[in-house]
């Protein structure tokens, strides 16, 4: 509404967001301990968790570490906006569009601003940043400490941002609060004072605004927008729509009459269904998969590889679309099983022509789990909901899907890098992305270990003498005090379980395995499944958690 009231034509709107009234305690927010500490863009690339400075939504508008240098901010801008899935054109459009309207507030020094809400006394009742300067509002407002008005019409859409950016020469100055900003030295007083209609100001810009003029690549885009305002309007409309809908998942989740008809590549579009398999078709497909020669481990592993890319935060990834068979997912190290299993399932899909490859991949997991449960003496039918479709390569943004490649997947005992967090923390983070509870995570890890689903076929965490059987052996042997665990080296990533009497090495484990015995909460859950009478409960709980993961992106079922 604000953009439309300014005279701007938006790209569209989709409703459907949730109001969440409690914090996500298990989200990995990063390891920063201090506010406004600069994170180098290279470090940001290793742990892409948002802003380049803790406490700021994007970057420091005065430049990294208050450098005051426009060019020094370019890398930080690209890193932060890149983490939001924005390219250079979208980045320029968003910055310029956002600064076409409104102003910043820096009427006086930050010493006039009180404690933040969490640090304020109880009588403040959660209302922090109390101002002691004048009225604290309007002309006396202090927020960022910067005092900038970019355009001649700050409540009406225009192309003045780019016109001013390139028309004038800019000199570094300071706001009344002491923050670094720039003023157009050769401009007349053309900016209306927001609070006194009888006054005018010179145009002002943030340090990071001038980055759009002096960074060579940003400058090319900015000049194009200067000379083609309609191109700027279109780019901002699309980038704003992307920014405000990026975490809503596929377009099928949007609600309302203003949802654009156009499919956008960042929405991970899917084609219309080609198949409607009947119950008889599913029974026959299961029999064909069972006779394909694939092992339980391979069938379960490929289904997990397909579905476990889902992220609850932005509703991306998942099994629907069978993007495991496309670049880049097919070539990820963690998905090594795909090279062996997908050709078999792809051929099966072609010869039967009764279901999508996406459905057949998930159905292979169903077959594997039912076989493993039967081998353990439990007869169970794993629920399966057909209806998935197969995406095409041209519907898949390789660069954006590369961001879904896991740094670690503790469910498959996979870890690519040791420079980000701890193995057990990354397991928790992966479970959080999959919207799993602690019991669901526990039962899935225990079950997948005995089914031999480690990404590289290793025996780490495979605490059983009967792999492929859906047993509680992982928990029973993990908690068995006859074994003493010792790290194999100073890295403390790989451990050996020694028989306390003979000294023999019985098992090997990673931190993603041993955390279920060392953490008090997870150990309590492991003890439930280690009980001698817990076998049937374990199988049922495993199946329930498994089906949840397989259907995370089936918004049509929710």
| C-alpha atoms less than 13 angstroms from C-alpha of 70 in its C-beta half-sphere | 20
- Cβ-based neighbour number of residue 211 at 10 Å: 28
Residues in Cβ contact with 257 at an 8 Å cutoff, skipping those fewer than 6 apart: none
d(CA 221, CA 89): 6
d(CA 524, CA 30): 27
d(CA 298, CA 301): 5
| C-alpha atoms less than 13 angstroms from C-alpha of 7 in its C-beta half-sphere | 9
Confidence (pLDDT) at 61: 95
Question: Residue 229 in contact with residue 157, Cβ under 8 Å?
Answer: no
| C-alpha atoms less than 13 angstroms from C-alpha of 535 in its C-beta half-sphere | 15
- Cβ-based neighbour number of residue 546 at 10 Å: 24
Q: Which tokens is 445 given?
A: 């890890």
Confidence (pLDDT) at 52: 66
Q: Does domain 2-19+36-106+143-253 have CATH number 1.10.420.10?
A: yes
The neighbouring-strand residues paired with 276 are none
Phi, psi dihedrals of residue 368, rounded to the nearest 5°: -60, -45
CATH code: domain 408-557 is 1.10.420.10
Cα 97–186–67 angle (5° rounding)? 60
The neighbouring-strand residues paired with 254 are none
Cα 206–211–215 angle (5° rounding)? 170
List the strands of the sheet with 180-184, edge to edge.
170-174, 180-184, 204-205
| Strands 170-174, 180-184: pairing kind | antiparallel
d(CA 162, CA 228): 10
Q: Which tokens is 18 given?
A: 């949730």
| C-alpha atoms less than 13 angstroms from C-alpha of 357 in its C-beta half-sphere | 20
Walk along the chain (558 residues) and give the pLDDT tens digit of each residue. Answer: 999 999 999 999 999 999 988 877 667 766 666 766 776 666 666 666 666 676 677 789 999 989 999 999 999 999 889 988 999 999 999 999 999 999 999 999 999 999 999 999 999 999 999 999 999 999 999 999 999 999 999 999 999 999 999 999 999 999 999 999 999 999 999 999 999 999 999 999 999 999 999 999 999 999 999 999 999 999 999 999 999 999 999 999 999 999 999 999 999 999 999 999 999 999 999 999 999 999 999 999 999 999 999 999 999 999 999 999 999 999 999 999 999 999 999 999 999 999 999 999 999 999 999 999 999 999 999 999 999 999 999 999 999 999 899 999 999 999 998 888 899 999 999 999 999 999 999 999 999 999 999 999 999 999 999 999 999 999 999 999 999 999 999 999 999 999 999 999 999 999 999 999 999 999 999 999 999 999 999 999 999 999 999 999 999 998
Alpha-carbon distance values, 501 to 45, 474, 486, 505 (Å): 48, 21, 15, 11
Is the peptide bond prior to 328 cis by the omega test (within 30 degrees of 0)? yes
d(CA 154, CA 192): 9
- Cβ-based neighbour number of residue 176 at 10 Å: 14
Every domain of the chain and the residues it spans = 2-19+36-106+143-253, 279-402, 408-557
d(CA 80, CA 54): 12
The neighbouring-strand residues paired with 113 are 131
Identify the helix (H) or strand (E) that includes residue 542: helix 535-550
Q: Which tokens is 433 given?
A: 């992305």
Secondary structure E strands in 279-409: 408-409
3-state SS assignment for residue 224: helix
Confidence (pLDDT) at 22: 84
d(CA 203, CA 214): 18
For the domain made up of 279-402, give the CATH fold: Peroxidase; domain 1 (1.10.520)
Question: Residue 430 in contact with residue 408, Cβ under 8 Å?
Answer: yes
Residues in Cβ contact with 542 at an 8 Å cutoff, skipping those fewer than 6 apart: 369, 443, 444, 446, 447, 470
Q: What is the 3-state secondary structure (H, E, C) of 97-150?
A: HHCCCCECCECCCHHHECCCCCCCCHHHCCCCCCECCCCCCHHHCECCCCCCEC
Q: Which tokens is 35 given?
A: 């506010």
pTM of the model: 0.93
| Strands 408-409, 414-415: pairing kind | antiparallel
Residue 377, sorted as left (phi over 0), alpha (psi -120 to 50) or beta, turns out to be left
d(CA 468, CA 336): 19
Confidence (pLDDT) at 54: 64
| Strands 408-409, 170-174: pairing kind | unpaired
> Exposed, middle or buried: residue 22 (CB in 10 Å: 0-12, 13-18, 19+)?
exposed
Q: What's the distance, CA 359 to chain centroid?
A: 25
Domain 279-402 identical in fold to domain 408-557: no
Counted residue by residue, the chain has a size of 558
């Amino acid at each position: 509404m604000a953009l439309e009231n300014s005279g701007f034509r938006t790209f569209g709107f989709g409703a459907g967001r949730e109001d969440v009234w409690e914090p996500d305690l298990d989200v990995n927010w990063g390891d920063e301990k201090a506010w406004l500490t600069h994170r180098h863009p290279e470090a940001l690339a290793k742990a892409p968790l948002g802003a380049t400075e803790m406490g700021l939504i994007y970057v420091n508008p005065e430049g990294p570490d208050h450098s005051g240098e426009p060019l020094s901010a370019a890398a930080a801008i690209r890193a932060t906006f890149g983490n939001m899935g924005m390219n250079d054109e979208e980045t320029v459009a968003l910055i310029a569009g956002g600064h076409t309207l409104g102003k910043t507030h820096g009427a006086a020094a930050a010493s006039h601003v009180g404690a933040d809400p969490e640090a304020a006394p109880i009588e403040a009742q959660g209302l922090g940043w109390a101002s002691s300067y004048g009225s604290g509002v309007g002309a006396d407002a202090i927020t960022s400490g910067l005092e900038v008005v970019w355009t001649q019409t700050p409540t009406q859409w225009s192309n003045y941002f780019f016109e001013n950016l390139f028309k004038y020469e800019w000199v570094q100055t300071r706001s009344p609060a002491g923050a670094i900003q720039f003023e157009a030295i050769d401009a007349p007083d053309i900016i209306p004072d927001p609070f006194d209609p009888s006054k005018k100001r010179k145009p002002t810009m943030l340090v990071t605004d001038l980055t759009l003029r002096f960074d060579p690549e940003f400058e090319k885009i900015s000049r194009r927008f200067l000379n083609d305002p309609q191109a700027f309007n279109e780019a901002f409309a699309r980038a704003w729509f992307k920014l405000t809908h990026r975490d809503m998942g596929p377009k099928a989740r949007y609600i309302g009459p203003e949802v654009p008809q156009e499919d956008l590549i960042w929405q991970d579009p899917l084609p219309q269904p080609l198949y409607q398999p009947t119950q008889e078709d599913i029974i026959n497909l299961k029999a064909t998969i069972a006779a394909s020669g694939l092992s339980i481990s391979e069938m379960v592993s490929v289904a997990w590889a397909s579905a476990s890319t889902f992220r609850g935060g932005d509703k991306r990834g998942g099994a629907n679309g069978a993007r495991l068979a496309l670049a880049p997912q097919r070539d990820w190290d963690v998905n090594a099983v795909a090279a062996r299993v997908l050709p078999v399932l792809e051929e099966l899909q072609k010869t039967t022509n009764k279901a999508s490859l996406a459905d057949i991949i998930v159905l292979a997991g169903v077959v594997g789990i039912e076989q493993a449960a039967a081998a353990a003496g439990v007869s169970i039918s794993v629920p399966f909901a057909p209806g998935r479709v197969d995406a095409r390569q041209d519907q898949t943004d390789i660069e954006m899907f590369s961001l879904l490649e896991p740094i670690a997947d503790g469910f498959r005992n996979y870890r690519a890098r040791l420079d980000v967090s701890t193995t057990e923390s990354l397991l928790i983070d992966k479970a959080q992305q999959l919207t799993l509870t602690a019991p669901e995570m526990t039962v899935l890890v225990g079950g997948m270990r005995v089914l031999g689903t480690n990404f590289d076929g290793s025996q780490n965490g495979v605490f059983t003498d009967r792999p492929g059987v859906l047993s509680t052996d992982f928990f029973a042997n993990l908690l068995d005090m006859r074994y003493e665990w010792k790290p194999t080296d100073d890295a403390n990533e790989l451990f050996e379980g020694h028989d306390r009497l003979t000294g023999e090495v019985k098992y090997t484990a990673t931190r993603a395995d041993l955390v279920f015995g060392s953490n008090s909460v997870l150990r309590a859950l492991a003890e439930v499944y280690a009980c001698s009478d817990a076998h049937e409960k374990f199988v049922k709980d495993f199946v329930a958690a498994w089906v949840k993961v397989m259907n995370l992106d089936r918004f049509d079922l929710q």
